A = this chain, B = another copy of it.
Amino acid sequence: MRAIGIDLGGTKIAAGLVDLDTGAVLRRTIIPSEGDKGPQVVMDRMADAARQVMEGKIVGVGVGAPGPVNYQGVVLWTPNLGGWKNIPVAPEMERRLELPTRADNDANLAAWAEYRFGAARPFASFFYLTISTGIGCGIVLNRQVWRGHHGWAGETGHMPVVRQGRKCGCGSYGCWETVASGTAIGRAGSEALGRPVDAKAIFQLAAQGDAEAQKVLDEAIDYVALGLTSLQKNFDLEAVIIGGGVSRAGDAFFIPLRQKTLGYLRHMVDEVIILPAQLGEEVGIIGAAALWT
**Shortest CB–CB separation between residue A77 and chain B, in angstroms?**
8
Question: For A234, what are the chain B residues with a Cβ–Cβ distance below 8 Å?
Answer: 137, 139, 153-156, 159, 231, 234-235
CA distance A187 to B31 in the complex (A): 59
Which 9 A-B pairs give the minimum distances between C-beta atoms?
Answer: A148-B236, A153-B236, A159-B230, A155-B233, A159-B233, A149-B238, A171-B267, A152-B236, A160-B226
A interface, size bucket: 35 or more
Contact A149 B125 (CB under 8 A): yes
CA distance A237 to B148 in the complex (A): 6
Is A229 an interface residue, CB under 8 A from the partner?
Answer: yes
Closest to A149 in B: B238
What is the oligomeric copy number?
Answer: 2
Is A223 an interface residue, CB under 8 A from the partner?
Answer: yes
Contact A233 B158 (CB under 8 A): yes
Contact B148 A235 (CB under 8 A): yes
Set B158, B235, B266: member contacting A146, Cβ < 8 A: B235
Is A40 an interface residue, CB under 8 A from the partner?
Answer: no
